[in-house]
Amino acid sequence: MNFLRNCWYMAAWGSDIGPDALIPVTILDEPIVIYRKQDNTLAALEDRCCHRLVPLSVGRKEADEVRCMYHGIKFAADGRCTEIPGQDRISPAVRVRSYPAVERHGAVWLWMGVPDMADEALIPPIIGPDNPEWAVMASCMEIQANAQLIVDNVLDLSHAPYVHEASFGGGDETTIKTQIRGESGVQVTELERGVQTMRWHLDRPSNPYTGDLNSDDLVMSQILAPGIFILKIRVYKPGVQQRPMDEHGVPLEEPLFARTTCQMITPVSDQHSKFFFTFGPSAALAHAREDFFRVGEQAFREDKAIIEEQQRLINRTPNPRMMMLAMDVPVIRYNKIHERLLEQEATTQGVA
């Protein structure tokens, strides 16, 4: 897969970057060190001293700068060299790359493309652990597979009844039928950098949080380049479609509760990805956040297992080719947008 560069990739949770730490990460096969400056904002540098290629992440943070602990060369947060021990003149060629880095929604975002094109308005609007309206918990899994396989999995709901039989209990017949019915009424909106969908799952089986009522669930999702999935489900008392709605078809009444998951896929290298995720209910159910999260985490472990099996088999298959079926429409739709963004990038001069 060709990876997009002119976009924000999630590199870590903000809480993973302590005030004194030098945190090494790899994104698109590039070693990067992330740290906090004294004003608590982030800096991200190529994690490779230009002198003799030693990781700066095993160096020393000194105020807003990093010193390589092999021969003591020091770099500022913009990548400039500010000190070479025993040498007065510093050539401007002595520098490391720096990456635009922003902390938002409790997450650390790095811009991997042309620095001048970094646009904070493009940071995906995920629901992070800092959002007071929600009670989400956040985590990360390493998946030994190409990011594309994970994006495909996230987009395709048809795997849920089989892969998630144990976690979401998706295997019973009512649920499968409800999902298929829901699919037929899906409202799709293409965005500049992704796809937004809205669908109803009517008459869902009751659960501990709906007070023994079946429910009508409004499922809203966004998939955004380079692999960010945002899902919100609002759970209503049955028959909600007969009650007042706004012009977008969203009920005016408050839902019984809502739940959300966001999934951020970051390619580490060709066959290794990071899968950051949140899972949880709306703030009113904060006391149940761990129960929600546990189910979500188990489901993502199920996804990881099957995707890694898939990747292993793909690697053993000469000239691997996949087949597209009716259930793959969302995958095809997003992949087209991804292709278009890649083409746009190829024609933008100066992509590093």
Would you tell me which residues interact with ligand FES (CB under 6 A)?
49, 51-52, 54, 68, 70-73
Out of 46, 47, 216, 303, the only residue in the binding site for Fe ion (CB under 5 A) is 303
- What is the nearest approach in angstroms of Fe ion to the Cβ of residue 205? 19
- What is the nearest approach in angstroms of ligand FES to the Cβ of residue 269? 24
C-alpha distances in Å from residue 317, one per residue of 53, 238, 270, 320, 323? 36, 48, 17, 5, 14
C-alpha distances in Å from residue 121, one per residue of 8, 22, 102, 118, 125? 10, 27, 11, 9, 9
Alpha-carbon distance of 84 to 52, in angstroms, equals: 13
217 binds Fe ion (CB under 5 A): no
Considering the complex, state which of residue 75 and residue 300 has its C-beta at the smaller distance from Fe ion: 300
Of the candidates 226, 207, 10, the residue with the CA atom closest to the CA atom of residue 101: 10
Alpha-carbon distance of 57 to 69, in angstroms, equals: 9
178 touches 343 (CB < 8 A)? no
Please choose which of ligand FES, Fe ion, none residue 52 contacts, taking the beta carbon within 5 to 8 angstroms, the exact cut-off set by kind.
ligand FES
Determine the interface stretch with Fe ion among 38-46, 125-133, 195-203, 299-307 (rule: CB under 5 A).
299-307
Determine the interface stretch with Fe ion among 116-124, 231-239, 303-311, 329-337 (rule: CB under 5 A).
303-311
Q: Is the peptide bond before 100 cis (omega within 30 degrees of 0)?
A: no
Q: What DSSP state is assigned to residue 251?
A: B
Residue recorded with tokens 């008459």: 203
Considering the complex, state which of residue 27 and residue 136 has its C-beta at the smaller distance from Fe ion: 136
Considering the complex, state which of residue 81 and residue 110 has its C-beta at the smaller distance from ligand FES: 81
Please choose which of ligand FES, Fe ion, none residue 68 contacts, taking the beta carbon within 5 to 8 angstroms, the exact cut-off set by kind.
ligand FES
Considering the complex, state which of residue 111 and residue 275 has its C-beta at the smaller distance from Fe ion: 275
Catalog residues that contact Fe ion under the rule CB under 5 A. 303
